[in-house]
Chain A
Amino acid sequence: MIRNFRLPFPLLVLLLSVICGSLAAQEMPSIIQQAATDARADARRDVNCLPWFTCGLLFVYIPVIVGFFAVSGPPVERLIGKSPDYVWAYTREYRSTRRGLQVKYAGAGCLTTTTIAVVVLIIEAASGGCEDACNPTCNGPSCNDDSGCLSSSSSCASSSNSCGQFGTAPSR
């Protein structure tokens, strides 16, 4: 019975086209996947983190904007001999990865500067608060006595190290 079994010709054609179609459909994602993998690896190799981080440190948010918009394409030699699907997927993924890395590195620099600035501001504010606390003692009309100021400064200095600098004699 099996020996005599024959597929009708139209059914055979249909079956073959389904198989070929599914094989082609499987190949397409593999090319795109390969292109994306290559693009990510190449972009990671091409983007140098140090200049972007340094620029982020120095110019704060400007390199982040530049890093987002100024994204160069992949070198030509990486596209030579590649299929259109590969070129399209590679270019898109390369630019996207590169943009992400540039923004990330510049952002890290920017964040570092911002953090440092905030810490400095907090310290300044704390020092300023102490100065305000110290100075009224010295600024009043009864503050002609150095010892009073110094004593208040010393007590201030004891409460905060950074405050010691304000414990100088008042100008007369």
Chain B
Amino acid sequence: MPRGWSGPVSILPGFLLLLLAGLVFPQNLTSLQVDFERQTRKRGTDETVRGTIYYESAGKCVAVVRDPIDQRLIITDTELVVYYPVERKGFRFHSPTAAALPFFQAFLWSLKEDYGLTEIGYALAGYQVRGDTVTSVWSPPPGRSGGKFELTYIADRIAGAELRDGSGAVVARSLFRDHIRFGNAYLPLGITTTTYDRSDSTIETVAFQNPQFNLPLPGAILDYRIPDDAVMTDIAW
């Protein structure tokens, strides 16, 4: 542990107050509708995708893509449906585990205390407080490959996240900006994630707009039925 860092044993009083002051009791999120623009630079090519995400905490998530193609991604606990209304065809991916859109998950995880790391088995390994900045280091669950996770909060807003591999090299780094308040928590409307690779790095910039919390989602989206004459291909995932 670096000098000046405190261990997990002595964390409770000061650290928890500082880090989790606004995050322990976030307002419950039941539904969310948010526009997104995702830009990706990968292997020298740029790509922009625009659309809207409709999220229901009951377990359903629908991403309606408008640009560059008309596409719907319907994510449930056991299935991912990718459907193209214009072509009237699509794919049904069957999976034992729920699929997820990582860039949207990164947005949602900001609502959880400690970025949801405790839930997935990470344990606090140390922290450092400098003014209004709290940096914490998290160890992966025992037996899991991979390295530590580092989180930085500035004034209760998540500012950065860094994932390292077993040798300590940075695998991915996310920077969060343009926070908005929701209940006692802050959600970042801008997330830039760089994933490092030996051959080429990937840079993903996501901008969220017009978030609408806990409002009824349009029935046309949630109860959308794929036409019977659509050509669907089933794929085991």
Residues of A within 8 A of B (CB): 38, 41, 45, 48, 50-51, 72-73, 75-77, 79-84, 87-88, 91
Contacts and interface: CB of A to CB of B under 8 A. Distances in A.
Contacts of B43: 38, 41
Q: Chain B: interface secondary structure?
A: strand
A83 B91 CA distance: 11
Interface in B81-125: 82, 84, 87, 89-91, 93, 95, 99-103
Given A45-B197, A88-B233, A77 B84 contact: no
A88 B100 CA distance: 19
A37 to B, nearest CB: 9
Nearest to B87: A84
B63 interface: yes
Size class of the B contact interface (CB-based, 8 Å): 20 to 34
Contact of A91 (B84, B91, B197): B91
Contact of B102 (A38, A73, A75): A75
A77 B102 contact: yes
B99 A76 contact: yes
Contacts of A50: 145
B73 interface: yes
Given A51-B145, A81-B69, A91-B235, A76 B80 contact: yes
Nearest to A50: B145
A87 B91 contact: yes
30 contacts: A38-B43, A41-B199, A45-B197, A45-B199, A48-B145, A50-B145, A51-B145, A73-B237, A76-B73, A76-B75, A76-B80, A76-B99, A76-B100, A77-B101, A77-B103, A79-B73, A80-B38, A80-B63, A80-B65, A80-B71, A81-B38, A81-B67, A82-B69, A83-B84, A84-B84, A84-B90, A84-B91, A87-B82, A88-B91, A91-B91
